[in-house]
């Protein structure tokens, strides 16, 4: 069951476990030259979100949801590491309950040319899906994504494809420039279906108070933000209906004050409850 894909990237996000196979930064650096153009920078941080059910359609389906997500973005000089862990309990109309744990980890070069990732999903404490892989992009955004599980799957990526942190930076660039619409294919390995076409609507920025009164949240979550809406379309299904939609209040730092993920028949809210700024490694 698909639950979470965060694009904080940044956002957002979702999940994985164990050592990422290509935590090999020397190889990654060789494949991804350093960025020379000044761009918006993402603030390294560790954020905890409380998850809850916001809406459910009548009939069979999800009737209750609760859980947490811990998302970490770390600056590793020539790239970012992203870790996300979601623990969620779902209750269905038929009386069945399901516990879902998703763990995702990735390394993304700041050049936007290389990434490695690993993903694990547990359902009721039993392994449901595990894979790992790499993504390599050429200068024009074309490239290849390779997923390793019981079998190897490869996706050929169209020109203009972006990794998730590069996409978040591009969202911030477009928002700062007053652009209202941005659409690109994005891939980060958080789903095994390959890339998604992500279309973003970017309203005028707003001024907001801190997400909560806690000192750490106040220092990092107040001020200007963009209440963005992103629709995710499967590039393999070729449908005009998004697989899900993501609403988020994105700060210039790349941190999301809150999020809403709409899957059509139900939607999940993400409320920021804890945040810690992390120091870059260099």
> What are 191-216's pLDDT values in tens digits?
888 999 999 999 999 998 776 556 65
Q: What is the pLDDT of residue 19?
A: 30
Residue with tokens 């169209």: 158
- Residue 212: its pLDDT value, please? 59
pLDDT tens-digit map of 215-224 = 656 667 888 9
pLDDT value at residue 219: 65
Check: CB of residue 138 under 8 Å from CB of residue 145. no
Average pLDDT over the chain, rounded to an integer: 84
Give the model's pLDDT for residue 95. 84
Q: What is the pTM of this model?
A: 0.83
Of 34-43, 68-77, 220-229, the least confident: 34-43
Alpha-carbon Rg of the chain, whole angstroms? 18
Q: What are phi and psi of 169, to 5 degrees?
A: -60, -40
With a CB cutoff of 8 Å and minimum separation 6, the contacts of 255 are: 8, 43, 45, 47, 220, 221, 275
């Amino acid at each position: 069951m698909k639950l979470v894909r965060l694009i904080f990237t940044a956002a957002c996000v979702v999940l994985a476990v164990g050592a990422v196979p290509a935590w090999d930064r020397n190889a990654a650096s060789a494949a991804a030259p350093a960025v020379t153009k000044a761009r918006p920078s993402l603030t390294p941080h560790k954020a905890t979100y409380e998850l809850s059910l916001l809406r459910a359609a009548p009939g069979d389906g999800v009737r209750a949801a609760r859980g947490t997500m811990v998302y970490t973005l770390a600056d590793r000089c020539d790239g970012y590491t992203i870790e996300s862990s979601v623990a969620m309990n779902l209750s269905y109309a038929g009386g069945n309950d399901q516990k879902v744990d998703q763990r995702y980890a990735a390394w993304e070069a700041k050049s936007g040319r290389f990434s490695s990732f690993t993903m694990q999903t547990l359902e009721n404490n039993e392994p449901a899906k595990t894979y790992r892989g790499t993504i390599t992009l050429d200068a024009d955004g074309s490239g290849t994504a390779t997923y390793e599980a019981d079998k190897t799957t490869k996706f050929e990526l169209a020109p203009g494809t972006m990794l998730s942190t590069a996409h978040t930076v591009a969202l911030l660039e477009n928002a700062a420039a007053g652009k209202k619409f941005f659409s690109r294919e994005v891939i980060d390995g958080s789903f095994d279906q390959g890339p998604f076409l992500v279309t973003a609507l970017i309203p005028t920025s707003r001024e907001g108070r801190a997400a909560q009164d806690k000192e750490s949240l106040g220092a990092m979550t107040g001020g200007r933000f963009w209440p963005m809406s992103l629709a995710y379309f499967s590039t393999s299904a070729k449908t005009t209906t998004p697989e899900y939609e993501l609403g988020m209040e994105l700060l210039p730092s790349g941190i999301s004050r809150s999020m809403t993920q709409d899957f059509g028949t139900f939607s999940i809210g993400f409320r920021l409850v804890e945040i810690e700024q992390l120091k870059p490694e260099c």
